[in-house]
Chain A
Amino acid sequence: MLLAIDTSTGTSVAVVGRDGASGELRCLAETGTDDTMRHAEVIGGFIHEALAVAGISGSRLSGVTAGMGPGPFTGLRVGIAAAHAFALGIDRPFVPVVSHDAIAWSRYRAGDTGPLQVVTDARRREFAVSEYDGLDDDGLPVRVLGPELAPRDAVPEARGIRFDATIVSAGAVGMLAELAFAAGRLPLAADAPLYLRAPDVTPSPGKRVLQ
C-alpha cells in the first residue's frame, strides 16, 4: 500500500493498494482540490483524510510516492516535501513519479490509444509538454519526449491526441508506482522536482511583520 501525493496542479492525495480479497490493484482513497493557491494549508488535512478513508495508519504503508512535476514550483514543492517527510517518518522508501506520466496513464486507461500529447500550464506564457506512444507490456506509459517547456503559441503539433490537463490524480501517481514496483521497474524517475526552468533571481525584499 502506498500513500500518493501530487501538488503539481492542485492538491491530490490518495492511498493505493491491492484489494484484500481479489488482489486487484486499486485506489483505496482519493481526496483533493483544484485550488492552486493553498497547497500548504490543505496538504495535512488531505493526508489525514485519505488514510482515514482507506482505514489504515501510516505504519501499514509500504512506501510513499509523489508527482515530481512539472508544475508551478511553490505548490509542487509542498507535496514533495510532505511525501519525503512522511516516508522518513514511517521509514519506508520514497518513489518519485513524473506527473505527466500519471496523466497519460489515466488517459490510456480511460480508452485513448496511440500517440498522446500531455500539456499543462507552466506559467509565464509557457506550457509543459510531454509526448507518449501508448502503454508498454508492464502497463506503463511510453514517454518519447519531454517533459519540456514550449511557448503557449508554439506547442509542437500533436501526432495524435492533445490533452490539456488541469488536474493530476494522486491515485494515478500511486497506481503507476505500484505497477512499476510489481514489474521491477523502479526507479521510474529521479528524486528531483521537474522545474524545467532556472530559478528567478529577483532578490527578496526581506521579511516584514504587519503592524
Chain B
Amino acid sequence: MNRAEPLILGIETSCDETGVGIVRGTTLLANTIASSMDEHARYGGVVPEVAARAHLEALGPTILAALEEASVSLDDLDAIAVTSGPGLAGALMVGVGAAKALALSLDVPIYAVNHLVGHVGADLLDTADPLETPTVALLVSGGHTSLLLVRDLVSDVELLGETIDDAAGEAFDKVARLLGLPYPGGPEIDRAAIGGDPKAIRFPRGLTQPKDQAAHRYDFSFSGLKTAVARWVEQREAAGEPVPLADVAASFREAVVDVLVTKAIAACTDLGVPRLLLGGGVIANARLREVAEERTDAAGIDLRVPPLSLCTDNGAMIAALGSQLVMAGHPPSGLGFGADSTLPVTEIRVA
C-alpha cells in the first residue's frame, strides 16, 4: 500500500446524505453527495427508515459518480474508509455492509472511522496551511452539537461537551415549523430574520447559568429555547397581537449562535488552546460564522472554517480521516466492526 500518499475512497451514510469521497493523501479528488433531504421535508425531520432506504438506492451510483469525478478506477484504491458511527444505526449499516464487501472485492484494507472526527479531518484537505493541533472543534448539524478537544487527529480526541437534548440544527427545524416555515429550518430562519432585531426578545441561553458550570460547562441544551419561542408566539397570538416574525427569527438565531460561540470560546480560553475549528451543516449559517469571527478575533483565537461542501456530511471527510490513519501507520480495522450509533469520539478508528 502507498502510505505516503494513499488513494482512499470514503463512504458516509450516518444521516440523510449518501456521501462518497476520494482523496489522495490530503488532495481532494471527489466529493459526491446524494441527499434524501427532500423526502424528509414533509415529515419536518430526518426519518431513519426513509434515509436508510435512500442510502441503499443511492450508494452504488454515488460510488460510480465519485470515481468518474476523480478520474480513478476502483483498482487504483489503496483502502476503503467508512463511517462506523455515531449516527442512525440503520443508515450506518448500509454503508458498513457495502464498504466491507467493496474492500473484500478489491482486496484492500478497510478503516472504520468516527463521523465526528471526520468533520475535523475535512479541514486537512486541499490546504497550504494545514490544521494545527491542539485545537477545539465545534461541530454543529441537524444530528449533532459537539465540542471536541483534538490533541492529535488520529490518536487523541476528547469530547468536551455535547447537546443534552436537541441538536442545534434540530432546534432550527423545530422553531421553523412552529413559525410556519418549511424544512430544513436553518436557511428558512435566516431568510425570515432579514431586517429583524436580534435583541428584540431575550430568549434563554441553555446551560449558561452559574449553576450549570460544574456539570455542563461545555454541554448544550436547545429544547428550553424552542419551548420559550413557542410560548412567546402563543402569548402574542392569544393577546391578538401580530407576531413580528423577523424579530422572533433573529432573536432565536442569536440565542443559538450566542451559546454555541460562547461555549466554544470558553473551551479555548480555559484549555489555553488558541484555535477553533467549525464543522457541520449549521456552519452554513452566516450569522454563526460572523459572530464566531468577531469573538475569536477579539479573543486572539485562530478560527478555521472548511469550505461549506466539506462542512456538511460528506464522504471526503471520511476518506480524509482514513488517509491520515494510513499515513500515520495505523493498522486497518478488522472485518467484525458494526454500526455504532453512539460511537464515542475517543474511538477515532474502530479496531
List the interface of chain A (C-beta within 8 A of B): 38-45, 47-48, 51, 57-58, 73-74, 77-91, 193, 195, 199-204, 206-211
Contacts and interface: CB of A to CB of B under 8 A. Distances in A.
B276 interface: no
B167 A207 contact: yes
B336 interface: yes
A74 B93 contact: yes
5 contacts: A44-B104, A77-B55, A77-B97, A84-B56, A211-B344
A159 to B, nearest CB: 34
B45 to A, nearest CB: 4
Interface residues of B, number: 64
A106 to B, nearest CB: 24
Contact of A206 (B51, B101, B142, B344): B142
Most chain A CB within a 10 A radius of its CB, from B15, B44, B336: B336
A209 B16 CA distance: 18
Interface string B204-217: 00000000000000
Interface of B: 14-15, 43-53, 55-56, 59-60, 63-64, 74, 86-90, 92-107, 110, 115-116, 142-144, 146, 159, 162-163, 166-167, 170, 335-339, 341-345
Contact of A40 (B55, B87, B93, B103): B93
Contacts of A203: 43-47
Given A88-B74, A208-B162, A44 B45 contact: no
Contacts of B100: 43-44, 47, 82
Contact of A73 (B15, B52, B104, B339): B52
Contacts of A200: 47, 49
Contacts of A85: 59-60, 63, 97-99, 101-102, 105
B104 A38 contact: no
A104 B209 CA distance: 65
Nearest to A207: B143
Contacts of A82: 97-98, 100-101
A88 to B, nearest CB: 6
A85 to B, nearest CB: 4
A204 B104 contact: no
Contact of B144 (A80, A201, A209): A209
Most buried by A among B43, B56, B162, B344: B56
B336 A206 contact: no
Contacts of B167: 206-207
Contacts of A209: 86, 116, 144, 146, 159, 162, 342-345
In this complex, the member of B64, B96, B97, B107 whose beta carbon has the largest number of chain A beta carbons within 10 angstroms is: B97
Closest 5 CB pairs of A and B: A89-B105, A44-B100, A44-B335, A203-B45, A82-B101
Given A81-B98, A85-B101, A199-B49, A207 B56 contact: no
